Amino acid sequence: MRVGVLGPLLIDGAGGETTPRGQRPRDVLAVLLQRRGHVVTPDVLLDLVWGDAAVELTASTVHTVVARLRRALGSDVIETHDAGYRLGRQVRLDSDDFDAALRRAREATAAGDAAGAVTAYRDAVAVWRGPQAFEGVSDDLVMADRARLGEAHAQTLDELALALLESGTAPALDEAWSLARALTREHPLREGSHRTAMLAAVRSGRQAEALDLYRALRARLRDELGIEPSPPTAALHQRILTQDPTLDPALDLGPTHEQRTGPEPQVTGERPPDQREMGRLPAPLTSTVGREEDLATVITLLEQGRRLVTILGPGGVGKSRLLAEVGGRLSADPSLEVVYVDLSGLGATNAADIADAVAVGFRLPVSRDDPISSLVNHLCADRLVALVDEAEWASTAVAEVASQILAGCPGVRLVVTSRVPLDVLGESRVLLAPLACPPEDASGAEARRAPAVRLLEDRLRDHAPDLVIGDEQGADLARLARRVDGLPLALELLAGYAASRTLAELLPLVDAPLDVASPEVGHRPRHRSLRDTLLWSVERLTPSERLVLRRLGVFAGSFDVSAARSVVGGSLDPLTVDAGLRALVREALVQLDRRGPRSRLRLLRTVRDLALEGLDESGETQEVRRRHREWFAARWRGQPPHDELIAEVGASYDDYLEALRQGLAARDACSVADLVIALGRRWSFVEAAGVGVRWFDRVLAADLLDPVDTARVQVLRVGLTLHASWADSRHLIARCQEALANDPDWLAQAWQVESIQAYQAGDVERSVTAADQMVTVARRGARWVLPEALATTAVMVAAAGDREGALASADEAWALIGASPTALHFASVVPKIGLALVDADQPQRAYDILSRATTDVSVRLGLRPTFTIVINLGWAALGIDRPAEALSWFARSLNSGSHRGLFLAEECVGAACALTSLGHPQAAALLDAADELSSRHALSLTPRMAAHRQAARYLQPPSGDRSLSSRTDDDLAAAIGTAAREFAP
């Protein structure tokens, strides 16, 4: 049985192809397909499909529709269970075929097989039967899946065009040009498609069209998002202009999504006092903190000849303070006249009023009939800089005056602050972000070095000189700064209460930061509280833009446009949502982040608080949270782990957690299962055992999941707790294997968990048997896990003494992951291959592979090496007689301070062996400490590890110190860690 969702719903069964007739059957089928393999209750189907009309309906209504579907699908396809209905996983979707073809294409691309890649990409594209997925299904049911699949379709077309370019033949170039050109029309802001189309145009003799594409893209980005093309796009444009001869061969186009490189600007500062005297430069009353980089950026732009620099950012971010600092720096040049023009509160609505205000700043008489031309005539021969503050009050009028000044006064430069861009030709924009806050795990001393905390501490000392502030208070300061997103105005308002409160008493204030009002005089009316500051911007929005903003409040972290469309959705069509997002970005109520492979958006916490207030008042909270939960649950439903999943869950981690919380509260079993599995993949990858186990336990304790999903969660949980008792877990694993018998993907993972658990417990025979089962299942139906299955088998058979078998499995695993392993391969396959080679008496080869892995992980992927890579590299270095280097790796692992139990014991044994080889004077005592930890946690060493410890013991026999048993793990590890740090090179 096969069902098509990539176009109109299509059932391809024994009776041929058919399309479900009627809206309700199509909608019910779509819901069952989304939850394939899960039981869906009649109540859920009624709520989702019938909506408000379900109040007067019963389960028999659902049964009638299901009966109609069974006639089309076959009687046994939709299963009836006590709790509801389930569409079995044996039902195949055409989206499965699409995903498989796409994986083949990307594997061929990685292997350098251009022809194979093109064929596979064509196979993927050919699966689609229409312009959008789930055609004929109600929009609100499938918006998340439709957006996800639509994005995957567009990305596939992008990659097909790139693969055709790599082919290099004239027909392939023409096809690539046609394909990429069509993509640019369908996705006018997609820079990757434009780069592909530009290159295809150049290679097929259409240089003018390539330049036209760039000009059109640049204009759209400026008009709609207020940004310039990313560096890869601009660089390609420049190469086309200079007719770079290397454009003909294959060119690295960079990321296929928009990307901005370089550090994000960081800005601090506060609002200068109210200043109504035009022309006079305001002098800040307090010190400036952490503004050096932003100040240098503005000054550099002016020195480079940029004549209009606009400082952009949300209210309270410190734009006016930075403007004052710019004025102070420029005033040091006696040959330069610097004039300050304050537009706040003027009520100016037209260009003539703005020209009058600027003329007052310059102390110039202007014509009453034509003040703009008169102003330009007076300034045309001057050399000066005008600092124009708060242009958002009348941005259109300011833009008109600025355009005429720039055109008629070559010696005049303008530096403007505004919440919205002026959109004037030649405008250079400096975007100010809130001050950087310290991470959650920063020490007190580290927290105090963060710009946001430095500003807060500085202002606290202004208001309460006797307040005790040291490293011990760093954590509280960091919490205060993070809660207000490092927004300088918020930090100032908060510090104003320090005169009558302790630091601990300030913390409750940030539970409602919008209403923290300034106890001081001197703040402008709209800067007297964050609510006043934000409401000024919100009230400028149209009704639909305000609707978009309040619905965005459900996002806990950053998000992409596809997520926004689906979650905001509802009564708004995608074009309205997109327009609303652009307006919110322009108004600095939504922050745009282009540092990663894709543009992402986020709300400052204070903006989010205001948005959620509006959402609660509208009565939409429950519905919008449901769409939010279902979007993230559907994002990776049924997919095996891969790099994109790991990266996206990491980028949207706060929202996955928030969706999981809401799913548990709503007792939405299907969403909870999908969400915790996606999160579990991420926790496993980053070795976050503690947080992962806590959430797994919380989900399992809720008693929501069906037996199959319960088994999946248990497999992930046990995989994170491999130091647990083998006696306690072996029966649990057996039950999981029984429940997962018909799911090869998960069954293979269950066998792996059993293999590693048995290995850690010293039951080598059982570990080999389980690893063999994993390989068998992987070969039969879970090819994606085969490299790890083979690597696991290599470790187990090496421990059993089968050197040839270990090398054969390791070699096959290495061949499967190819010359460019993925991030997941680096985490799960490469370390096991290295360990197997160490135990198969090939430490040099293990050392070479693991050393390369540490470099690739850091340089190519921007990640830190996993614990298993680091510690296995330590054992490999010992095996080639490099004890000093081995010690540095063991010390690095110990210094992380993140491991307990078996892992901590292994780190300590390795470090003690290296210290013994290096002749440490306390080697015997350190080995005693390591042995105590090994005994305490029943550590089972591999043959080569055991040989290293035996050699160390030969040099340093036990000291007989009986006091070790009374010392804690941390105490014993600290002694070894200190010695390792002192001795490590």
Mark whether 308 and 409 lie in a shared domain: yes
CA nearest 317: which of 474, 427, 436? Answer: 436
Most confident range (mean pLDDT) of 323-332, 511-520, 702-711 is 702-711
> Which segment of 135-139, 349-353, 588-592 scores lowest on mean pLDDT?
349-353
Asked whether residue 363 is assigned to any structural domain, the reply reads yes
Please write down the long-range contacts of 949-958, taking CB distance under 8 Å and 24 or more positions apart: 949/909, 949/913, 951/913, 952/912, 952/913, 952/916, 952/917, 952/923, 952/927, 953/927, 955/916, 955/917, 955/923, 956/916, 956/923, 956/924, 956/927, 957/924, 958/924, 958/927, 958/928, 958/931
Angle at 20 between CA 19 and CA 25, to 5 degrees: 160
Q: What is the CATH number of the domain that holds 309?
A: 3.40.50.300
Question: Looking at residue 1, what is its pLDDT?
Answer: 76
* pLDDT in the model for residue 277: 41
User: Per-residue pLDDT for 877 more than 60?
Assistant: yes
Is residue 172 a contact partner of residue 164, using CB atoms and an 8 Å limit?
yes
**Distance separating alpha carbons of residues 930 and 827, to the nearest angstrom:** 26
Got the DSSP string for 338-400? EEEEE-TT----SHHHHHHHHHHHHT----SS-HHHHHHHHHTT--EEEEEE-GGGGHHHHHH
- Strand-pairing partners, residue 559, are 601
pLDDT score of 709 = 95
Whether the pLDDT of residue 262 is over 50: the answer is no
Q: Which amino acid is at 590?
A: V
Same domain as 310, residue 427: yes
Let me know: does 689 contact 718? Beta carbons within 8 Å: no
Which of 483, 509, 526 finishes a domain? Answer: 526
In this structure, the answer to whether residues 332 and 423 fall within a common structural domain is yes
As a residue count, the chain comes to 985
Alpha-carbon distances, residue 671 vs 86, 101, 631 (angstroms): 15, 27, 9
The least confident of 266-280, 767-781, 892-906 is: 266-280
Residue 696 pLDDT class (50, 70, 90 cuts)? very high
Vertex 63 angle, CA 58 and 65, to 5°: 110
- Residue 467 sits in the same domain as residue 345: no
- Residue 37, pLDDT > 90, answer no
| Residue 621 CA: distances (Å) to CA of 550, 551, 627, 657 | 9, 8, 10, 17
DSSP class of residue 49 equals: I
247-261, 434-448, 865-879: least confident range: 247-261
How are the residues of the chain apportioned to helix, strand and coil, as percentages rounded to the nearest 5? 65, 5, 30
Beta-carbon count within 10 A of 703 CB: 9
Q: Return the pLDDT at 268.
A: 33
Task: Specify whether the CB–CB gap between 232 and 573 falls below 8 A.
Answer: no
- Write phi, then psi, for 645 (nearest 5 degrees): -60, -50
For residue 285, the model assigns a pLDDT of 62
Note whether 412 and 299 are same-domain residues.
yes
**Is residue 417 a part of any domain in this protein?**
yes
Residues 6+ apart with CB under 8 A from 62: 28, 42, 45, 46, 85
Domain that holds residue 302: 292-431
Higher pLDDT, 95 or 516: 95
Number of other residues whose CB lies within 10 A of the CB of residue 49: 24
Domain-embedded: residue 577: no
In DSSP notation, 137-165 reads S-HHHHHHHHHHHHHHHHHHHHHHHHHHH
Q: How many helices and strands in the chain, by DSSP H and E?
A: 45, 14
Residue 39 lies in a domain: no
Would you state the pLDDT for residue 57?
A: 76
Residues paired with 340 in a beta bridge:
279, 387
Give the range among 19-23, 244-248, 679-683 with minimum mean pLDDT.
244-248
Cα separation, 489 vs 481, in Å, equals 11
Q: Are residues 335 and 382 in the same domain?
A: yes
**For residue 836, what are the contacts with CB-CB under 8 A and spacing of at least 6?**
791, 794, 795, 797, 798, 806, 807, 809, 810
- The Cα–Cα gap between 226 and 715 comes to 48
The separation between CA 672 and the C-alpha centre of its own chain, rounded to angstroms, equals 20
Res. 978: pLDDT tops 50? yes
Kind of pairing, strands 85-87 and 39-40? antiparallel
pLDDT on residue 282: 65
Q: Are both 416 and 448 inside the same structural domain?
A: no
Contact 587, 420 (CB under 8 A): yes
pLDDT band at residue 223 under the 50/70/90 scheme: confident
pLDDT for the residue 255: 43
Tell me: pLDDT of 276 over 50: no
Terminal-to-terminal C-alpha distance of the chain: 63
Among 505, 526, 547, where does a domain finish?
A: 526
- Asked if 225 and 592 touch (Cβ cutoff 8 Å), the reply is yes
Q: How far apart are CA 241 and CA 750, in angstroms?
A: 57
Q: What is the predicted pLDDT for the residue at 101? A: 92
Running DSSP on this structure, what letter comes out for residue 418?
A: E
Alpha carbon dihedral 333, 337, 343, 348, in 10-degree steps, equals -160
Confirm whether 382 is domain-assigned: yes
**Burial status of residue 706 (CB atoms within 10 A of its CB: 0-12, 13-18, 19 or more):** middle
Q: Which of 940, 937, 919 is nearest to 929 (CA)?
A: 937
CA distance 776 to 751: 10
Residue 392 lies in a domain: yes
281 and 327 in contact (C-beta within 8 Å)? yes
Domain count of the fold of the chain: 3
Residue 503 lies in a domain: yes
CA angle 943, 949, 951 (to 5 degrees): 100
Give pLDDT, residue 591: 84
Mean pLDDT, residues 155-168 taken together = 86
Say if residue 517 is in the same domain as residue 488: yes
Mark whether 381 and 458 lie in a shared domain.
Answer: no
Rounded to 10°, the helix 830-839/843-859 angle is 160
Q: What is the Cα–Cα distance from 508 to 264, expressed in whole angstroms? A: 30
Whether 168 has a pLDDT exceeding 50, the answer reads yes
Both 453 and 425 in a single domain? no
**Where is pLDDT greater, at 1 or 180?**
180
Is there a single domain that holds both residue 351 and residue 478?
Answer: no
- Report the C-alpha gap between 267 and 435 in whole angstroms: 5
CA distance 719 to 866: 16
Distance CA 729, CA 979 (A): 36
Rounded to the nearest 5°, which phi and psi values hold at 384?
-160, 170
Residue 634: closest CA among 573, 677, 685: 677
Judge if 520 and 396 occupy the same domain: no
How far apart CA 611 and CA 545 sit, in angstroms, is 12
* C-alpha span between 373 and 371 (Å, rounded): 6
Per the CB < 8 A criterion, the answer to whether 900 and 973 are in contact is no
Q: Indicate the helix (H) or strand (E) that contains 16.
A: strand 16-18
pLDDT digits (tens, 9 = 90+) for 474-483: 888 888 888 8
Q: For residue 69, what pLDDT band results from cuts at 50, 70 and 90?
A: confident
Instruction: Dump the DSSP string for 286-339.
Output: S---S-HHHHHHHHHHHHTT--EEEEE--TTSSHHHHHHHHHHHHTT-TT-EEE
User: CB–CB of 658/625 below 8 Å?
Assistant: no
Half-sphere exposure of residue 662: CA atoms within 13 angstroms, side-chain side: 23
Half-sphere exposure of 186 (CA within 13 A, CB side): 18
pTM for the structure as a whole: 0.69
> Lowest mean pLDDT: which of 1-5, 353-357, 419-423, 756-760?
353-357
8-state DSSP, 265: P
Point out the domain boundary residue: 475, 501, 526: 526
Establish if 346 belongs to a structural domain.
yes
